[in-house]
Amino acid sequence: MNEVTGEFDMIARLFAPLTDGRPGTFDLRNDAATFVASPGHETVITLDTLCEGIHFFGDDDPAGVARKLLRVNLSDLAAMGARPFGYLLSLARGKSQDDPWLEAFAAGLKEDQKLFGVTLLGGDTTRTEKGLVLSLTALGEVPMGKALPRSGAQPGDSVVVSGTLGDAALGLCILQGKNFGLDAANRAHLVDRYHLPQPRLQLGHRLVGVAHACLDVSDGLLGDLEHIAQASEVTIQLDASALPLSAAARSVLNADAQLLSNVVGGGDDYELVFTVPASARPELARIEGESGIPLTVIGDVLPGPARVEVLDSERQVLQFERRGWTHF
C-alpha cells in the first residue's frame, strides 16, 4: 500500500488488519501486492468510484459508505459470474474525514469483508482539495472463458431479473423528502435498498453456463438492458405488468402509476438481469429454490434492431423520459 508519511500509523492500525494476513499483501508495507489465480480460472477485475456530494453525502454513516463502495464493485463481479477474493482501496480524504470517521469506515469494510469472503490487498491514501473521493478495485475469478458476457443474448431467450426493481430509486426519493404516504417500515425498506445494495454473488456464480448474457442493474433497468440489446444485436421486449415489485413499491405505484418510470429508469437496485434459453428454465427453477432469491421472467429477446421496449397490458409500447441515471 502506498501512503503519505504521517499516515503510516493510520494505515497500520486501521487498514493492515483488513488484509487478514493474506500472503502477497505484505501487511500493506510493500509497493504492490501479489496473487495467484486458481488453476483453470481467469481473473476478473472491476473499478467503481464514489464521490462525496455526488454519490453520497458527507454526513452519511461512514460504515454504510464503506459497505456501499465495496458492494457496488462486488455487484459488477456478480454480473460476470465471478467469485470475489480481494480489493484495493483508494481513499482520498476531504476535510471532513477525521480519525473517528476513518475508524467507522474501516469497521464497515471489516464487517462486509467477512460477509463476502474478501480481503484488502493494497491501496493508497491521500488528500483532496474538497470532498472525499473513494475508488475501489475489486478482484474475483471465474472458470476460464466462462465469464458471463453482455453479448450473448439470443432471440428466443427469456429476460429474467432477480429480486425486486425500483426500490432504491424510490428510497432516494424518500431521502430527498418524498413520503409516498408510506408507513415507517415501508419507507425504511426502500431507503435501506438505496443505502445497502445486496450483490447477487451466489446467483451470478450459479448462472455461469446457464445465462446467455448478464449484467447488474446499476444505472437503470432500461439503460442497462440497452447494453445487452446493443452488444447482442437483438430487440428486448419487457412486460410492464411482470416487473417484480416489493410491497412498498407496489403501494407507491398503486397511488401514482407514473412512478413506473422510477422502476424502469431508476438505478442502484443492483439486481442481476440476464437472458436464458427456454431449455434452461428447469435449471433456473432449481437455482431459485436453492438461492431463495426470487427470479422473475420480465420479457423476451426477439430478432430485430438493438432496442429495449416496455409493453403495457394491451401490448402498446410505453414511453419513458428517464432511461437511466445521469450526472448531467
Q: Which is nearer to its own copies, 187 or 206 (CB)?
A: 206
How many whole angstroms separate alpha carbon 91 and alpha carbon 62? 12
Angle between helices 167-175 and 184-195 (to 10 degrees): 110
Amino acid at 98: D
Strand-by-strand arrangement of the 213-216 sheet: 213-216, 272-276, 158-162, 295-302, 235-239, 307-311
219 is in an annotated binding site: yes
46 is in an annotated binding site: yes
275 is in an annotated binding site: no
Quickly tell me which residue has 428454465 as its cell: 281
Query: Measured from the CB of residue 79, what is the shortest distance to its own copies in angstroms?
Result: 4
CB-CB neighbours of 154 under 10 Å: 14
How many whole angstroms separate alpha carbon 136 and alpha carbon 84? 13
Query: Measured from the CB of residue 40, what is the shortest distance to its own copies in angstroms?
Result: 10
Question: Could you tell me which of 325, 211, 213 has the C-alpha nearest to residue 264?
Answer: 325
123 is in an annotated binding site: yes
Which set of grid coordinates corresponds to residue 98? 477525521
Query: Measured from the CB of residue 106, what is the shortest distance to its own copies in angstroms?
Result: 17
48 is in an annotated binding site: yes
Query: Measured from the CB of residue 130, what is the shortest distance to its own copies in angstroms?
Result: 4
Q: Which is nearer to its own copies, 30 or 316 (CB)?
A: 30
How many whole angstroms separate alpha carbon 323 and alpha carbon 224? 9
43 is in an annotated binding site: no
Query: Measured from the CB of residue 121, what is the shortest distance to its own copies in angstroms?
Result: 7
How many whole angstroms separate alpha carbon 125 and alpha carbon 148? 33
Beta bridge partners of 175: none
Q: Which is nearer to its own copies, 161 or 253 (CB)?
A: 161
Query: Measured from the CB of residue 301, what is the shortest distance to its own copies in angstroms?
Result: 18
150 is in an annotated binding site: yes
Q: Which is nearer to its own copies, 35 or 188 (CB)?
A: 35
Map residue 195 onto helix, strand or coil: helix
Sort strands 272-276 and 307-311 into parallel, antiparallel or unpaired: unpaired
Question: Could you tell me which of 74, 188, 186 has the C-alpha nearest to residue 136?
Answer: 74
187 is in an annotated binding site: no
Q: Which is nearer to its own copies, 128 or 154 (CB)?
A: 128
Q: Which is nearer to its own copies, 24 or 250 (CB)?
A: 24
Question: Which positions make up the binding site for substrate?
Answer: 55, 268, 325
Question: Which positions make up the binding site?
Answer: 31, 46, 48, 55, 76, 123-124, 150, 216, 218-219, 268, 325
Question: Which positions make up the binding site for ATP?
Answer: 123-124, 150, 218
